A and B are shown apart, each in its own frame.
Chain A
Amino acid sequence: MSDKLPVIEDQPEICRSVDAGERSVWTRVMNRFADHCRARSLFVLHYCTGCGAIELPPTITSRFDMERVGVSPMVTPRQADILLITGYLSIKTLKRVILSYEQMQSPKYVIGFGSCTINGGMYWNSYATVKRLDQYIPADLFIAGCMPRPEAVQQVLLKLMEDIDAGKANGWQDYYNNYDRYLGNQQALFGESWHTPTDVIAEAKHYGYLADGTMGRHTDLLLKRADYALDRVPEDYPERGKNERRLP
């Protein structure tokens, strides 16, 4: 499929053509407006992997009432804006977190809750626990502490709203821009055959965030092994057809 539009020669100039600079100003104004609105209606998916989950019921319910500030819990990743990782992540759990994260619609934000997501916390010397969440998915904000209180959760949500409003919470763009680095870190843990059903590169193209870091050494491996995306593999790709193991 060609992505070039047919060129029509000698077309009389009916409309004034919009130059690129002007368009970008318009886009920026619109994005700014969208960010402003977005910050006022956020849905959180609580990924309750660790002990931090216990701090969330008081945060949501009448004692601290998260909904006062316009944040409400959501049950599925596809409808959520924020992924709140509450506590330590084992290597096995991290896989599920990445699957959930990739299913969320952009723009999406990640908050790491507790010391465990920053540096492993009290599980710092465990062979099975992931140390830094931000190496595998882009975290916008962290709450330090073991355990952070509901006040801290509210504080971080307010800070995130502020950041979104100011257009500073851009972790999700970083995931598209530097997908190769994130994928490399994931592969280092899960092995080279690691892949998710989500086509992040296509999403990056769709949203217009394809950058130099999107594709590289690690995504090449993905292309080689991804049977589900066989139609994306170019005809002349040397490894094409070698792994034609269809998913059941």
Chain B
Amino acid sequence: MSIPAKLNDVLHEMPGIKVRMMNERRVRVDLSPDTLPALLEILKGRLGYCHLSAISCVDWVQTDQFELVYHVWSHMLKTMVSAHIFISRQPGQFISVYDIHAPAGFFERDIHEMFGVHFEGAPNLNKFILTSWGGPPPMLKSFNTREYVEKTFDWVQYSPDWLKDIEAKGGGID
């Protein structure tokens, strides 16, 4: 199991890059945020990495960082490259890669809604799925879902007779 030679050459043109082969079709790449657009550009131009499958985001509270992962696929090499970058949580800004991969506009809008990351140059960062949402970005670790639910909704009080019998014997559903 080794990285295709062409891909290996291209990846190592990037300064400060860490390459790891996850399995025979997936390469994990760790690099600095500044070099990411260049990497995507170069992969697209030279090795046919024209398919941006997804951009995912992870909120790391301990290190106060957002991890952004760009998954690109090449139909030529039949390999996926997952490029991991870490950006600071404050102010949580990064540049849009919409000019390289048009579908990025869609993913960036989603990440903006769920994590509050602002993508500079993104075509549209309006509300996407949570149209009547007024609260903080809900996928942030700092957002306490349970507290929000307790505050917003109330519950059906459920105590049928059969349950009372069980509770009298020391059992229950809690």
Q: Which of A107-133 contact B (CB under 8 A)?
A: 118-120, 124-128, 130-132
Would B146 and A125 count as touching, CB distance under 8 A?
Answer: yes
Identity of the chain A residue whose Cβ is nearest the Cβ of B149 in the assembled complex:
A125
B154 near A131 with CB under 8 A, answer yes
Decide if A99 is an interface residue (CB 8 Å cutoff): no
Contact status B131-A132, CB under 8 Å: no
List, in ascending order, chain A residues with CB within 8 A of B162's CB.
none
Quick check: B145 and A126 within 8 Å, CB to CB?
A: yes
Q: Does B168 contact A (CB under 8 A)?
A: no
Out of A126, A131, A188, A191, which one reaches B155, CB within 8 Å?
A: A131
**Cα distance A91–B133 in the bound complex, in angstroms:** 9
The reply to whether the CB of B132 lies closer than 8 angstroms to some CB of chain A is yes
**Residue in A119, A188, A189, A190 whose CB lies within 8 Å of B156:** A119
Interface of chain A residues 128 through 149 with chain B (CB within 8 A): 128, 130-132, 135
CB of B155 within 8 A of CB of A132, answer: yes
Pick the contact of B132 from A126, A131, A190 — CB < 8 Å? A190
A78 at the interface (CB under 8 A from B): no
A-B contact count (CB 8 A): 42
Contacts of A120 in B (CB 8 A): 153
B138: A residues at CB distance < 8 A = 127-128
Question: Cβ of B145: which chain A residues have Cβ within 8 Å of it?
Answer: 125-127
Question: Could you tell me how many residues of chain A have their Cβ less than 8 Å away from some Cβ of chain B?
Answer: 19
The answer to whether B153 and A131 touch across the interface, beta carbons within 8 angstroms, is yes
Task: Say yes or no: is A92 at the interface (Cβ < 8 Å to chain B).
Answer: yes
Task: Count residues on chain B whose CB falls below 8 Å from chain A CBs.
Answer: 18
Q: How far is the CB of B165 from chain A (nearest CB, A)?
A: 18
Cα(A57)–Cα(B155), bound, Å: 31
Interface string of B112-154 (1 = CB under 8 A from A): 0000000000000000011110110010000101101100111
Nearest opposing residue in chain B for A191, CB measure: B132
- Residues of A within 8 Å of B143, CB to CB, are 127
User: Are A126 and B149 touching (Cβ within 8 A)?
Assistant: yes
> How far, in Å, is B129 (CB) from chain A's closest CB?
7
Query: What is the distance, in angstroms, from A141's C-beta to the closest C-beta of chain B?
Result: 14
- What residues of chain B lie closer than 8 Å to A128, measured between beta carbons? 130, 138
How far is it, in angstroms, between the C-alpha of A102 and the C-alpha of B129 when the chains are bound?
A: 24
Closest to A95 in B: B132
CB neighbours of A126 from chain B (8 A)? 145, 149
Cα separation A119 to B173 with both chains bound (whole Å) = 14
Contacting residues, chain A, for B132 (C-beta < 8 A): 91-92, 95, 189-191
A92 CB contacts on chain B under 8 angstroms: 129-132
A132, B153: Cα distance in complex, Å: 8
Complex interface residues of chain A between 160 and 189 (CB less than 8 A to chain B)? 188-189
Please give the distance in Å from A103's CB to the nearest CB on chain B.
Answer: 21
Q: Name B143's closest neighbour in chain A (CB-CB).
A: A127
**Measured between alpha carbons, how far is A174 from B145 in the docked complex, in Å?**
32
Complex CA–CA separation, A127 to B148 (angstroms): 7
Which of A118, A131, A135, A190 has the largest count of B CB atoms less than 10 A from its CB?
A131
Which residues from A are CB-within-8-Å of B154?
131-132, 135
Which single residue of chain A is at the shortest CB-CB distance from B131? A92
Using a CB–CB cutoff of 8 Å, the interface residues on chain A facing chain B are 91-92, 95, 118-120, 124-128, 130-132, 135, 188-191
Q: Given A118-B156, A131-B155, list of 5 further CB < 8 A pairs? A: A92-B130, A119-B155, A132-B156, A190-B132, A191-B132
Q: List 16 A-B contacts (CB under 8 A).
A: A92-B131, A92-B132, A95-B132, A118-B156, A119-B156, A125-B146, A125-B149, A126-B145, A127-B138, A127-B148, A128-B130, A132-B155, A135-B154, A188-B152, A189-B152, A190-B132
The residues of B with any CB-CB pair to A shorter than 8 Å are 129-132, 134-135, 138, 143, 145-146, 148-149, 152-156, 158
